Structure 1
Amino acid sequence: MTSPVPSPHRIRVGSAPDSWGVWFPDDPLQVPWRRFLDEVAEAGYEWIELGPHGYLPGDPAVLARETARRGLKVSAGTVFTSLHHGPAVWEKTWAHVADIAALTRAMGAEHLVVIPSFWRDDKTGRVLEPRTLTPAQWRDLTVQTERLGREVRERYGLRIVVHPHADTHIDSEENVARFLDATDPGLVSLCLDTGHYAYCGGDSVKLIETYGERIGYLHLKQVDPAVLARVVADELPFGPAVGRGVMCEPPAGVPDLEPVLKAAAALNVDLFAIVEQDMYPCPPEKPFPIAERTRRFLRSCGV
């Protein structure tokens, strides 16, 4: 008797302001939020993330009306944290998290994407703190992240998914495994960003197969390996690397997304797979055609 093939339809595909070159709440180089909503819907996506807090309307009634009339739903909000600095930053962290968590919950979403702070400035490359955490900082990072997961769940009914990210302390295979091994699976899940993980040398399929129960969310993107090699050689920070086009339109880069999606489907759990092609800054007419092509490509992968 053969085993049933996992259904890919438990993977819900969406996109995010990031794929429209949006990194900040307000920036003249970014498309207006109404244009983003219009185009993401027209490109064939049903789910979106909130993006940087303040970009989309912060009034839940307004945002619910604007998304509903375009047939869109919200999958997650995003917060930035520096939890390796320990209890001293908790109050500041919670002040940042609370408003975003409240809006996320009001929009019917269940996930909060948590991005660690950068160890170097993502524009200038100025080193802000050591690249490697001390053992004490690792303990603070894991303990405070568990605290965040508990508080967010109890107060807002949300599940945190921590996003390994270039130029942060949760980046490589070694550091991601260390983080997962030291945190409670009941409180902390992972947002696997295929592009960032490849950028930092990781294998997304291997991670899914090894830590499948910890994968709570996906960001889909690819890296141009030729550009990445130059970025590494030149020791570029992430912002200028994006400016060089290190994150590219699928299926031109790595990792191959079809095996990633197949491995994710084999988990047989409900997962969001949100397209994020970092493109800040970009011409306003550039994102939409890419978004349409990417949605067609993902359909060819079965999602």
Structure 2
Amino acid sequence: MSRITIGSAPDSWGVWFADDPLQTPWARFLDEVAEAGYEWIELGPYGYLPTDPQQLADELAPRNLKVSAGTIFAALHRPDHYDEAWAQVEQVAELTRAVGGTHLVVIPGQWRSDRTGEALEPRTLDDEGWRRLTSGMDRLGRAIKDGYGLQMAFHSHADTHVDTQDEIERFLETTDPDAVKLCLDTGHVSYSGGDNLEIIRRYPDRIAYAHLKQVDPQVVAKVKEDDLGFGDAVKLGAMVEPPRGVPDMPPILDALEDLGRDVFAIVEQDLYPVAFDAPLPIARRTSTYLRSCRLPQA
């Protein structure tokens, strides 16, 4: 599968925030992600890894690591939020570009808190909220491309307003296909009952990036029954290492390969919080498993 380049991310080491004592220290993450056999990483939350481009480059080079993308959250369905989103872009996109990254992953604002599970706003958007969201993402995608030369990859996410397959499809149908591409997160799609292969089949030209992730369907069923937040779902073990969950990875990898263009596929297994000695063995097993799916490198 010569068109798929895989990597991993701080998320697979239990990193959700820029600074948190429950998280693996950044130098240990860099050491271990390289030790697990990965060459490509994401930046994770801005401020977790060094934000000085030269310092970061100096940390990456001896470990033979390269950066594929940075990530921001952008709640553009909210009135007057664009300037706040752009302030994140100015930091993250500049750093991403400076260390050779090519994509900026954009996650919509969450209606429920990751930390507490508290509802922060209504679960669904009205038509005006959808209009603000889609027009704002179009504007953001164009500005990211024009200003930094990066491709925006929109990431549907649990506990946001673009979560289910219907919502993903509505979003794709109402945004600019050139400015706004999709980061297909296989775990989040499955978590919300969607069909990853169907999304790839229906929107092949929108797939610019992927996060490889699996979920435990029994845990997810319990989470949905009890209406728990995503943070609680992760603590219960909703996200699992492949091939222990769904969706089945080989058909998705085949479908991504069949797109006929280069695609980053970054391993993400949400593990917040997690004991510091747990991620490396998981990363090694996942790397080995993906190589068994005929990927050329891990």
Identify which of 14, 20, 30 aligns with 1:37.
30
Q: State how many pairs are aligned.
A: 295
Q: Deviations over 1:251-293 (max 9, x none)?
A: 0000001100001101011000000000000000000000000
- Code of the aligned partner of 1:298: L
Match of 1:178 among 170, 180, 202: 170
How big is each residue's C-alpha offset from its partner over 1:123-147, in whole Å with a ceiling of 9 and x where there is no partner? 2221111111111111111101000
Structure 1: how far apart are the matches of 2:34 and 2:185?
22
CA shift digits 1:119-169 (9 cap, x unpaired): 111222211111111111111111010000011111111110000000001
- Taking structure 2 as the reference length, the TM-score comes to 0.98
Aligned pair partner of 2:21 in 24, 28, 46: 28
CA–CA distance in 1 between the matches of 2:56 and 2:178? Answer: 31
* Other structure's SS at 1:91 match: helix
- Between the aligned partners of 1:132 and 1:27, the Cα distance in structure 2 is 30
Whole-angstrom distance in 2 between the partners of 1:10 and 1:219: 15
User: What's the offset of the Cα at 1:91?
Assistant: 1.3
Which of 68, 71, 75 is the equivalent residue of 1:78?
Answer: 71
Q: How big is each residue's C-alpha offset from its partner over 1:224-272, in whole Å with a ceiling of 9 and x where there is no partner?
A: 0111111111110000100000000110000001100001101011000
Take 1:11 and 1:146, find their aligned partners in 2: how far apart are those partners? 27
Partner of 2:277: 285
3-state SS of paired residue (2:209) = strand
CA distance in 1: counterparts of 2:134 and 2:140, whole angstroms: 10
Q: Match of 1:297?
A: 289
Pairwise CA distance, 1:118: 0.7
Q: Distance in 1 between matches of 2:251 and 2:95?
A: 34
Is 1:129 the counterpart of 2:126 in the alignment?
Answer: no
- Runs of at least 5 residues in structure 1 that lack an aligned partner in the other structure: 1-7
2:40 partner amino acid = W
Residue deviations 1:42-85, cap 9 Å, x none? Answer: 10101000001000000000111111110000000000011011
Which residue in the other structure is 2:60 paired with?
67
The 5-angstrom pairing of residues 1-303 of structure 1 reads: 8-86=1-79, 88-303=80-295
- Distance between the aligned counterparts of 1:125 and 1:27, measured in 2? 18
Separation in structure 2 between the aligned mates of residue 277 and residue 158 of structure 1, nearest angstrom? 25
Aligned residue type for 2:63: R
* Superposed CA offset, 1:161-216 (max 9, x none): 00000000111110000000001111000000000000011111111111110000
Determine the C-alpha separation between the residues in 2 that align with 1:90 and 1:277: 29
Deviation at 1:9, TM superposition (A): 1.1
Q: In the alignment, what sits opposite 1:3?
A: none
What is the Cα-based RMSD across aligned positions, in Å? Answer: 0.7
SS at match of 2:2: helix
* Farther-moved stretch of structure 1 (122-131 vs 249-258): 122-131
Q: Stretches of 4+ moved more than 4 A in 1?
A: none
**How far apart are the structure 1 equivalents of 2:88 and 2:266?**
23
In 1, distance between residues paired with 2:257 and 2:184? Answer: 14
Q: Which runs of 5+ in 2 are unaligned?
A: none
* Partner AA of 1:156 in structure 2: Y
| Residues 73-112 of structure 1: per-residue CA shift (max 9 Å, x gap) | 00000000110114x1111211122111100110111100
